[in-house]
Chains A and B, each alone.
Chain A
């Protein structure tokens, strides 16, 4: 991706998230039940969407493409790694914003709720993934093991998604769309949520593009350093 397109992504996310902030804080009315607390919900579900589906989903697909011999390339491993790294940040933000909302609503910062717990477990898995990557120096070993680990971890996503249906928990069910397809949210509230979803998704892709570029540059520098070292040894041998 060119730096122009990347810049376009960056500015789009800034504009969309600014619009979300203005609409969420000033344009939308307070909720009948939750009052001003509802404003946090213009951010929290969008963060969760990016953490669980967009970011983690990208990591799983890229890992699968790396493990599939026909599509195996260093770039796929890089995309998977970078998406996972970004997902860690978004999961942390999801848990923090959820906790801030939960304290006045449920009376506690943390509840042993199925969705909270399963999301936190996915967060631990993601941190474990980062540790696993750092434990292996060989690029091929690292990529294979990380790829398999990401695929194994993917089973958590449906558990998190359906946790509010499978278990009777504190966490509410579907926020925007009900299981029958009808809308739960309307008017400016709905628009703010949608803009927030698009804004955070755009932000994720901007982060991803920049992070993958950085990782590619690092890889190229390592290759160059290795080539230089080999060349030096070769000259020593000849000399």
Chain B
């Protein structure tokens, strides 16, 4: 399972490295979204608002959706899923591999967006660094959940519109926990309880994904 996961993760990351979609399309989209979020607050308030953690996670959420969509898109070309199926790869390994690749991609975006938040929303650099481990785990949960929900939409009608509808409600606890933890890191407060929520979510999504990914890919 670990070997398959590694192979799939490397495959997805190699495709990303060669196509540069993340670098030339998703990262600029993420930065633009952050700027738009700041403008929506108004230039005067954008730099001094306690809404910065919420805005950061809202942007992360929509960018994560784009990345999940992209990750599923890699499998959607005709014959790809059938070819993967004939290789007889362990579905649990495929799930973990795709989740791992997606996590690494989201980490790149997360660091970019945290940097952008320091620049545009004037959040404290020290606070941002303090929040980094929690942001990393939250993005890992988003990647794991996104991989799972993404598998539900493959091949059906309107996957582009269906994925947000399925995924966003599942991201709500992550949005809340992430926003609270970033606020705690920036403005003070207990961090550990938000850690518990995201770690439990990570373990739960990983366990469910390992158990049911094969059932979804069979269909």
Contact = CB atoms under 8 A, between A and B. Distances in A.
Interface of A: 67, 121, 124-125, 127-128, 131-132, 134-138, 140-141, 144-145, 148-149, 151-152, 155, 159
B79 interface: no
B175 to A, nearest CB: 11
A148 B212 contact: yes
B170 A152 contact: yes
Interface residues on B, range: 20 to 34
A128 B158 CA distance: 12
A127 B164 CA distance: 12
Interface string B49-79: 0000000000000000000000000000000
10 contacts: A125-B169, A132-B166, A135-B158, A140-B219, A141-B219, A144-B216, A148-B212, A152-B148, A152-B170, A152-B208
B152 A121 contact: no
B112 interface: no
B210 to A, nearest CB: 13
**A interface secondary structure, majority:** helix
Contacts of B155: 136, 141
Nearest to B156: A135
A26 B152 CA distance: 50
Given A132-B152, A132-B156, 11 more contacts: A121-B169, A124-B168, A127-B165, A131-B162, A132-B153, A136-B155, A144-B218, A145-B156, A148-B215, A151-B212, A152-B208
B47 interface: no
B157 interface: yes
A124 B162 contact: no
A159 B169 CA distance: 13
A145 B153 CA distance: 8
A200 B118 CA distance: 54
A125 B152 CA distance: 14
Contacts of A155: 204
A48 B157 CA distance: 32
B216 A148 contact: yes
Contacts of A149: 152, 166
Nearest to A124: B169
